[in-house]
Structure 1
Amino acid sequence: MSDVVISEFMDQTAVDGLRARFDVLYEPALVNDPERLARELRGARALIVRNRTQVNEALLESADSLCVVGRLGVGLDNIDQTLCAARNIQVVPATGANNTSVAEYVIAAMLVLVRGAFGASDSMLAGEWPRSRLIGGEISGRTLGLVGFGGIAREVASRARAMGLEVHAFDPALAEDAPFWKALQVAPVDSLDQLLAGSDVVSLHVPLTPRTRHLVDAEKIALMRPGAVLINTARGGVIDDAALARALRDGRIAGAALDVFETEPMPADSVYRDTPNLVLTPHIAGVTRESNARVSAMIARVVGRILEAA
């Protein structure tokens, strides 16, 4: 019987630190065997997960001694927070620990999509010299629209401003006189429609909730500028995948970079097959060597403190 069960990958130094104080079961592939995971949780006091482990009623039914769930990341849509609260199970996300990694991913994706010069290696090695095809644009002087203006979006904004972009953001949860708008030189906008219509680059930074599911659908995409690009490092369900795929194939918008998807891993028959001007990555925007160490250390520290106090 283990005190701590870790069902997805975690920095080894943080795992070793927990093992020095508790009985730890660390199996990064345990997420792929929910039945065994449920058995291993009997008697365990802590569960540490990333985004794939579904901490739902079926799993929690066997977790008779659980007092804390540590999330190696910030999104909590894979965790039944209501049920955890009812059972006095604390849910601890690694808030802020991977902000830099996601922000740098967004900036990199923006550069790749707008410049359009990266992806010609095969044709060049085949003897082609496609200079005219690869003449893209500059991001300096363009407008970046941020949907949501939390910690990660603010990190994106500070980098984008330094690169010469004008930055707007839509976040109805924030007051327009909050001091960070002025400090970061970001203009708040009144509606999502206004943001989409006025931006050259749109980056999503909202959690997945019933209100944000398919927030960016065909109607919203139709508001975007024809040369605009869309970046999603938030949650896959925020975008209507079929609508975005159609818009890219029709040339309605210029490109998209997606790190998150409604179904992960993506199915072989994804609507994005054979879609042009699309960059896909496997939910890795917030995971670098550096952020993995920070996230893991934070969760190990907090989970350890909760267990020792229990």
Structure 2
Amino acid sequence: MNIKTYNAISPKGLAALKDAGYQINADEDADGILLRSQKLQNSDVADSVKAVVRAGAGFNNIPVADLSARGIPVFNTPGGNANAVKELTIAALIMAARPILAAVRFAQETRGGDVSLRTESNKGGYRGTELSGKTLGVIGLGNVGSKVANTALDLDMEVIGYDPGLNANTAWRIDRRVEHASNLDDLLNKSDYITVHIPLNEANRHFIDADKLAKMKPSAALINFSRGGIVDDQAVVKALDADKLRLFTTDFSDDVLFDQPKVMVTPHIGGSTIEAEDTSAMMAAHQMEAFLEDGNIINSVNFPEMNLPFTSQYRIGVLHKNVPNMLGQISKVFGQVDINIAELNNRSRGDYAYTLVAFDHLGQGQTEAIQAELKAIPQVLNLHFYEKKA
């Protein structure tokens, strides 16, 4: 099969796919798409594409709704770049406390004299504060937020976390010393530094707006290394101009932020480390192979998780709408062509569902008959046939 790539994908991830027998960017129809930040909304996704995998956590550059309606699973690699983003967030915290960039520029521009002595005479201009004893508010305690919170404790900071979606699977990663805020206002009122680690969706667009900025300390520093659009940059600039916020650091540029001395912008480098790119690409390659070879869905953002051992001889994965009587219709097809189902698994996620049917015996012409009958069901969006490797 052929995998089409966009952006510079880590050679380790590409090598893993090649070792599994895949072609990369061959001159033929693509079976899968592997990308990083390429805006796929601007590209045609061929009917031959069975899966789209983002080597990274964010997926707002992918037309998920359109692909879902076509029965194409979209995958991401949550946690693959979590350590990289955590480290950059900690660096942003330190730079928000100490005027490191200004001090470096001063040292570079100084001529004719001892830099240390001249700095001493102007020491007030480069005096910072310590993070120790200050309060950090972490909004979102997932893969990145939990790491930031735990690391900040090692810097002797007081840490408050807020995440209404926190569940048992993620809570165990968070140090018990992290105070859990019962409401967001409590975190905003108490924090000297606030960092945001939530996904961008319609509910979270401009999550940090003028109202929430007004609840922060005027001396607070705000950090956004999550996604552009989560913070209302226009509202931030107004707060900075009015001395209602001390500093804003973000990984996402916006014209309104430039020429504002209280803003530090990095060029979307949160996950740009060699290790993070390798890890995310390897995860992406594994997830692509798991779906294309076995029909398993791991870390999909639009279809339900389904990761089962391939114990039968054959499988058919049916991607369909989440409506009543789908299992009955799918089972009826197998009965009509006289195939005994060994195992049937079905899971749903919102408007969509996935049914994986396993069976051991297949007669001549039955493959085509099954697929034709399943495709005739109006609610079936896509389906794929799998045969166990020898």
Residue range with higher mean Cα deviation, 120-129 or 100-109:
120-129
For the residues of structure 1 that align with 2:137 and 2:84, how far apart are their CA atoms? 19
Q: Give runs of ≥4 in structure 1 deviating > 3 Å.
A: 178-184
Asked whether the 8 Å contact 2:224–2:251 carries over to 1, the reply is yes
Match of 1:76 in 2: 59
Q: CA deviation at 1:217?
A: 1.3
For the residues of structure 2 that align with 1:123 and 1:151, how far apart are their CA atoms? 37
Asked whether the 8 Å contact 2:223–2:248 carries over to 1, the reply is yes
For the residues of structure 1 that align with 2:89 and 2:162, how far apart are their CA atoms? 17
Residue identity matched to 1:249: D
Residue identity matched to 1:222: A
Alignment of 1:195-214 (within 5 A): 195-214=187-206
Match of 1:30 in 2: none
User: Is 1:93 the counterpart of 2:45 in the alignment?
Assistant: no
Q: CA deviation at 1:183?
A: 3.7
Asked whether the 8 Å contact 2:146–2:173 carries over to 1, the reply is no
- Report the CA distance shift for 1:179/1:241 in structure 2 as closer, same or farther (over 3 A): closer
TM-score by length of 1: 0.84
Asked whether the 8 Å contact 1:249–1:276 carries over to 2, the reply is no
- Report the CA distance shift for 1:90/1:99 in structure 2 as closer, same or farther (over 3 A): same
User: Is 1:169 the counterpart of 2:161 in the alignment?
Assistant: yes
State the secondary structure of the residue aligned to 1:51. Answer: coil
Match of 2:10 in 1: 11
State the secondary structure of the residue aligned to 2:57. Answer: coil
Q: CA deviation at 1:115?
A: 1.6
State the secondary structure of the residue aligned to 2:53. Answer: strand
State the secondary structure of the residue aligned to 1:231. Answer: strand
- Report the CA distance shift for 1:111/1:94 in structure 2 as closer, same or farther (over 3 A): same
The number of aligned residues is 285
TM-score by length of 2: 0.68
State the secondary structure of the residue aligned to 1:283. Answer: coil
Q: CA deviation at 1:55?
A: 4.2
- Report the CA distance shift for 1:243/1:162 in structure 2 as closer, same or farther (over 3 A): same
Match of 1:278 in 2: 263
For the residues of structure 2 that align with 1:285 and 1:193, how far apart are their CA atoms? 27
* 1:95-123 deviation digits (Å, cap 9, x = unpaired): 11111111111111000111223322333
State the secondary structure of the residue aligned to 1:70. Answer: strand
- Which structure shows the bigger proportion of residues in strand conformation? 2
User: Is 1:135 the counterpart of 2:127 in the alignment?
Assistant: yes
Match of 1:108 in 2: 91
Asked whether the 8 Å contact 1:200–1:228 carries over to 2, the reply is yes
For the residues of structure 2 that align with 1:137 and 1:254, how far apart are their CA atoms? 13
Q: CA deviation at 1:148?
A: 1.2
Asked whether the 8 Å contact 1:181–1:188 carries over to 2, the reply is no
User: Is 1:47 the counterpart of 2:33 in the alignment?
Assistant: yes
For the residues of structure 1 that align with 2:257 and 2:32, how far apart are their CA atoms? 38
Q: CA deviation at 1:18?
A: 2.1
Match of 1:126 in 2: 110
* 1:197-243 deviation digits (Å, cap 9, x = unpaired): 11011000111111111111122111111111111011110111111
State the secondary structure of the residue aligned to 1:237. Answer: coil
Match of 2:212 in 1: 220
For the residues of structure 2 that align with 1:195 and 1:96, how far apart are their CA atoms? 25
Structure 1: gaps of 5 or more residues: 27-39
Q: CA deviation at 1:182?
A: 7.0
Asked whether the 8 Å contact 1:4–1:23 carries over to 2, the reply is yes
User: Is 1:146 the counterpart of 2:146 in the alignment?
Assistant: no
For the residues of structure 1 that align with 2:244 and 2:236, how far apart are their CA atoms? 9
For the residues of structure 2 that align with 1:290 and 1:52, how far apart are their CA atoms? 20
For the residues of structure 1 that align with 2:174 and 2:41, how far apart are their CA atoms? 40
Q: CA deviation at 1:82?
A: 2.9
For the residues of structure 2 that align with 1:240 and 1:164, how far apart are their CA atoms? 30
Match of 1:305 in 2: 290
User: Matched residues, percent identical?
Assistant: 31
State the secondary structure of the residue aligned to 2:202. Answer: coil
Alignment of 1:49-64 (within 5 A): 49-55=35-41, 59-60=44-45, 63-64=46-47
For the residues of structure 1 that align with 2:251 and 2:106, how far apart are their CA atoms? 26
Q: CA deviation at 1:43?
A: 2.4
State the secondary structure of the residue aligned to 2:195. Answer: strand
Q: CA deviation at 1:184?
A: 3.6
Match of 1:293 in 2: 278
Residue identity matched to 1:22: Y
